[in-house]
């Protein structure tokens, strides 16, 4: 299909791990991104992964990429209430000139104390 | 110090009016974008400019006219505003190249009444 798919909601307890899943569409997408949007705020780039990598770790964040299944996940370790936000998965399609991001609809992460 | 800055952040206006949103980036990037986020949080590209030249023009009503006076600025002018134009408009920029990350501004919340 044409759409980047994400589940809409995820609730976790503070201190647990969160895993947000995403399925993208274009096997030739070179870069895949995770953005975070807090209420009333803009889009903050959290992390990204190049398509020739399987995993990328950055402090509490771990990105896993399964290129065969076109599946991307974001794991947040020791989730805190401040992590409550909408998380967007995005794939970059197109070359250097016509490249653009295609976004999923976002996963609303709620962290309970 | 803000990398991608947009003004105004909030705009409430009546149907039929004409309004502009301004965007500036101080990152030295060649490419700038406008994305629209609708009430369901769905993000979609509207326009892309590379070195002041229009590169991407998605299916957007011609009431929307971007203007890039130089590569650090990309403004969005909207004529004859309609209720359905209410959304958050995000400006973004990236260096030229397929692998380069796209950085977003804080967004402009437009409400048409």
CB contact under 8 A, A42 and B96: no
Say if strands B31-37 and B87-94 run parallel, antiparallel, or are unpaired: antiparallel
User: pLDDT value at position A51?
Assistant: 86
Say if strands B53-57 and B43-50 run parallel, antiparallel, or are unpaired: antiparallel
Partners of residue A109 in chain B, C-beta under 8 Å: none
Per-residue pLDDT for B69 more than 80? yes
The residue ranking higher by pLDDT, A108 or A96, is: A108
B55 pLDDT band, cuts 50/70/90, is confident
Q: What is the dihedral of CA A104, B6, B66, B46, to 10 degrees?
A: 0
CB contact under 8 A, B104 and A45: yes
Q: Any CB–CB contact under 8 A between B34 and chain A?
A: no
Integer-rounded Cα radius of gyration of chain A = 14
Per-residue pLDDT for B10 more than 80? yes
Chain A residue with Cα closest to B41: A105
Q: Any CB–CB contact under 8 A between B9 and chain A?
A: no
User: pLDDT value at position A1?
Assistant: 45
Residue that is written with structure tokens 């990598």 in the block: A53
Residue A58, burial from CB neighbour count under 10 angstroms (0-12, 13-18, 19+): exposed
Express each pLDDT in A66-105 by its tens digit: 999 999 999 999 999 999 999 999 998 876 666 788 999 9
CB contact under 8 A, B41 and A86: yes
Q: Enumerate residues 67 to 96 of chain B having a beta carbon within 8 A of any beta carbon in chain A.
A: 90, 96
DSSP state at residue B101: P
Nearest to A42 among B50, B99, B104 (CB): B104
Residue B86, burial from CB neighbour count under 10 angstroms (0-12, 13-18, 19+): middle
Q: What whole-number percentage of chain A has pLDDT above 90?
A: 73
Strand intervals (E) in B64-107: 64-70, 73-78, 87-94, 103-104
Nearest to B40 among A44, A99, A105 (CB): A105
């Amino acid at each position: 299909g044409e759409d980047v798919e994400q589940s809409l909601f995820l609730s976790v307890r503070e201190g647990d791990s969160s895993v947000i899943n995403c399925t993208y569409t274009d096997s030739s997408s070179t870069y895949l991104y995770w953005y975070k949007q807090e209420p009333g705020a803009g889009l903050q780039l959290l992390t990204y992964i190049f398509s020739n990598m399987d995993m990328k770790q950055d402090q509490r964040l771990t990105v896993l990429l399964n290129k065969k299944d076109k599946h991307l996940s974001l794991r947040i370790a020791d989730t805190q209430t401040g992590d409550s936000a909408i998380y967007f998965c995005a794939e970059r399609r197109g070359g250097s000139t016509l490249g653009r991001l295609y976004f999923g609809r976002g996963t609303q992460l709620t962290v309970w104390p | 110090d803000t990398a991608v800055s947009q003004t105004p952040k909030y705009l409430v206006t009546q149907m039929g009016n004409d309004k502009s949103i301004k965007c500036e980036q101080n990152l030295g990037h060649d490419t700038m974008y406008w994305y629209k986020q609708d009430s369901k949080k769905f993000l979609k590209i509207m326009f892309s400019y590379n070195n002041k030249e229009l590169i991407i023009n998605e299916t957007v009503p011609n009431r929307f006219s971007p203007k890039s006076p130089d590569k650090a600025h990309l403004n969005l002018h909207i004529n004859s505003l309609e209720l359905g134009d209410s959304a958050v408009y995000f400006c973004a920029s990236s260096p030229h190249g397929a692998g380069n990350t796209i950085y977003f501004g804080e967004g402009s919340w437009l409400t048409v009444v």
